[in-house]
A and B are shown apart, each in its own frame.
Chain A
Amino acid sequence: AQKITQTQPGMFVQEKEAVTLDCTYDTSDPSYGLFWYKQPSSGEMIFLIYQGSYDQQNATEGRYSLNFQKARKSANLVISASQLGDSAMYFCAMRAVLSGGSNYKLTFGKGTLLTVNP
């Protein structure tokens, strides 16, 4: 069974500083993927970044980067130059491939509430 752990229920950061949100995972599958989503107070889930287990480089998308340490089973999200609009709940999720190999489902962590202070 797969498991995602986000140990930080809440985090605070000053505007313009960088922040790291932790995510550790557990799986016996050699092939897996990790997603990060952002959920503002309005409720919609916004996809941020993806890292595949066989990807040679850490994923980056604008101000978002993923610090992927496979041996430690961690996939931490780094947000650089925080903005007030980054205040939201952040979820880490792991992909489990279904039968047939092309479909998958996600297992989510419990989330981290990030607050950016001016």
Chain B
Amino acid sequence: DVKVTQSSRYLVKRTGEKVFLECVQDMDHENMFWYRQDPGLGLRLIYFSYDVKMKEKGDIPEGYSVSREKKERFSLILESASTNQTSMYLCASSLSQVRRPQHFGDGTRLSIL
């Protein structure tokens, strides 16, 4: 089975801090994604990457950046955390085949105080 592991299940940070969310997948997937999930809004794509050192903006990239130095790891960075970034963050990965589903991690519930 595909395993997508997010480094923290719950995280509490302060306004203005630089926050790193880490995601690792073990199935050699080319594509990796970061979403945020908010009640009533569903999942919204922040950034994605389809190769090492490649990144593309999703629908809501403002206030975020990403890093993909190795194929198995995709990091989401909040450069200066703000309270409106309190949310559930979900990482996903997939093969480069359009019928293949994205596989998700368990999510990180991030609170910015």
Binding site for B on A (CB under 8 A): 33, 35, 37, 42-45, 47, 50, 52, 91, 93, 95, 97-98, 100, 102-111
Told that A42-B106, A108-B35, A110-B41 touch, could you supply 16 new A-B pairs with CB distance under 8 A?
A: A33-B98, A35-B101, A37-B104, A44-B106, A47-B101, A47-B102, A52-B98, A52-B99, A91-B43, A95-B98, A104-B98, A105-B45, A106-B45, A106-B102, A108-B44, A109-B42
Indicate with 1 or 0, residue by residue over B84-108, a CB within 8 angstroms of chain A CB atoms: 0000101010101111011111110
Residues of A close to B41: CB separation below 8 A: 110
Query: Interface range on chain B: under 10, 10 to 19, 20 to 34, or 35 or more?
Result: 20 to 34
Indicate with 1 or 0, residue by residue over B10-33, a CB within 8 angstroms of chain A CB atoms: 000000000000000000001101
Is the pair A45, B104 in contact by a Cβ cutoff of 8 Å? yes
The majority secondary structure among interface residues of chain A is strand
| A–B complex contacts, Cβ < 8 Å, 16 sampled | A33-B98, A43-B109, A45-B90, A47-B102, A50-B99, A100-B50, A102-B96, A102-B98, A103-B30, A103-B50, A103-B96, A104-B31, A105-B33, A105-B48, A106-B45, A108-B42
Rounded to whole angstroms, the CA-CA distance of A104 and B29 in the bound complex is 13
Residues of B close to A103: CB separation below 8 A: 30-31, 50, 96
